[in-house]
A = this chain, B = another copy of it.
Amino acid sequence: MTEPFSAVEVIVRKRDRGELSDAEIDWVIDAYTRGVVADEQMSALAMAILLNGMDRREIVRWTDAMIASGERMDFSGLSRPTADKHSTGGVGDKITLPLAPLVAACGVAVPQLSGRGLGHTGGTLDKLESIPGWRASVSNQEMFAQLESVGCVVCAAGDELAPADKKLYALRDVTGTVEAIPLIASSIMSKKIAEGTGSLVLDVKVGTGAFMKNIEQARELAETMVALGTDAGVHTVALLTDMSTPLGHTAGHAIEVEESVEVLAGGGPADVVELTLALAREMLAGAGVTGVDPADKLADGSAMDKWKDMIRAQDGDPDADLPVARESHDVLAPSSGVLTRLDALAVGTAAWRLGAGRSRKEDPVQAAAGVRWHVRPGDSVTEGQPLMTLLTDEAERFDRALAVLDGAYNIAADASFEAGPIVLDRVGA
């Protein structure tokens, strides 16, 4: 009888479309972290929240309770301002890899705590782990030192940072409760606020390959998160960006690192470069840094230098050969014309089925698995040319990957097709 509430009471209130009180929210998050509220109770509550929603006050309190479940970091002692970026997850979304060293090269420190793959979207840590020697785990002291010396760090969140979120995130992944705006917003913002960044740019993905399938949902999520960040004193801006087509030419781990290095070398796919620069400019503005054009830092090699320093600081070898898949299979163009559609969800799911993703959180990923597409919407194709190359260490995975790619693209014989913009909208405080 020492608990002030019962889990069932709290679940039933939300199930019956009631509002949870501040005290109930504080209790349920704390009790879940302590194991008093069981996983099966929290998943029922998560489903009730997904279907019945939470109002703004409830979301703010839920976020605060998750922050309060662990430690808060503080980078105000650094000699540079801090800025971070978070993407809601997309296919081929390797943007963090070139972006963090690029922004560091412009004089802003980037303390990026990242996650692993969830569903069909790739995880930044999984990608970086394809680099021989690189480690995701960094102590708080090391993180501070690396931000001072290199200027950027991409690493796993420690166990002490929003532990309630860590537990809930893993639970949502296996209980069909990922796609709830209040839970997505509070999960992202609790980690980012606890992380202690001074400013934050959110890349909210919209389209088939994103959790938000339409721009209205994405805008609601963006507005919710910007409000949470602003209330907590973090300068927060969101870009709504297209995720109907996968980013760049690769979805996987090692192959996305390769593509990121191309961008840092001053080349790379135009869409990846465009989005990287747009996010870098927002991060610099948020950190109050003016008069620096990040495009120059890609051109002059200083972003690449930061990349190498960052990888080495975490025991990785930036010049080592990356793992190569043992098996590959080409998908050929069935006709000639112009590619008018390449579906992000299908490509992401194919990469997942080839071994780049996880079914359960304890599963390993294949570093070399994934999909490389040779053309993007707007490109001309000739019958019989390779459209995509599927990569895996296990040839028996091709069939199920090919099945999901059936109908995933269109080729028009005579099309005046124009690809849409990447950045669809911007949400400020």
**A residues within 8 Å of B by Cβ?**
1, 6-8, 11-12, 15, 38-48, 50-52, 119, 171, 174-177, 359, 394, 396-397, 400
Contact = CB atoms under 8 A, between A and B. Distances in A.
A44 B8 contact: no
A354 to B, nearest CB: 11
Contacts of A48: 47, 51, 176
A275 to B, nearest CB: 28
A50 B51 CA distance: 11
19 contacts: A1-B396, A1-B397, A1-B400, A11-B47, A11-B175, A11-B176, A15-B47, A15-B50, A15-B176, A40-B40, A40-B42, A40-B43, A43-B43, A43-B44, A43-B47, A43-B175, A45-B176, A47-B48, A48-B176
B43 A41 contact: yes
Contacts of A46: 44
A38, A41, A44 pick with most chain B CB within 10 angstroms: A44
B44 A176 contact: yes
Interface SS, A side: helix
Contacts of A8: 119, 174-176, 359
Top 9 A-B pairs, shortest CB-CB distance: A11-B176, A47-B47, A44-B175, A39-B40, A40-B43, A43-B44, A12-B176, A44-B47, A40-B40
Contacts of A176: 7-8, 11-12, 15, 41, 44-45, 48
A56 B45 CA distance: 26
A6 B119 CA distance: 12
Given A51-B51, A397-B1, A41 B174 contact: yes
B7 A174 contact: yes
Contacts of A6: 359
A319 to B, nearest CB: 35
Nearest to A399: B1
A39 B175 CA distance: 10
Contacts of A174: 7-8, 38, 40-41
A352 to B, nearest CB: 10
A427 to B, nearest CB: 26
A25 to B, nearest CB: 16
A372 to B, nearest CB: 22
Given A48-B47, A52-B51, A40 B396 contact: no
A118 to B, nearest CB: 11
Contacts of A7: 174-176
A174 B7 CA distance: 8
Contacts of A359: 6, 8
Nearest to A119: B8
Contacts of A171: 40
A359 B21 CA distance: 21
A12 B213 CA distance: 15
A232 B274 CA distance: 63
Contact of A15 (B15, B38, B44, B51): B51
A1 B396 CA distance: 9
Contacts of A12: 176
Contact of A44 (B38, B177, B397): B177
Nearest to A52: B51
Given A38-B39, A41-B43, 14 more contacts: A7-B176, A11-B47, A15-B47, A15-B50, A15-B177, A40-B40, A41-B174, A43-B44, A43-B47, A44-B44, A44-B46, A47-B51, A48-B51, A48-B176
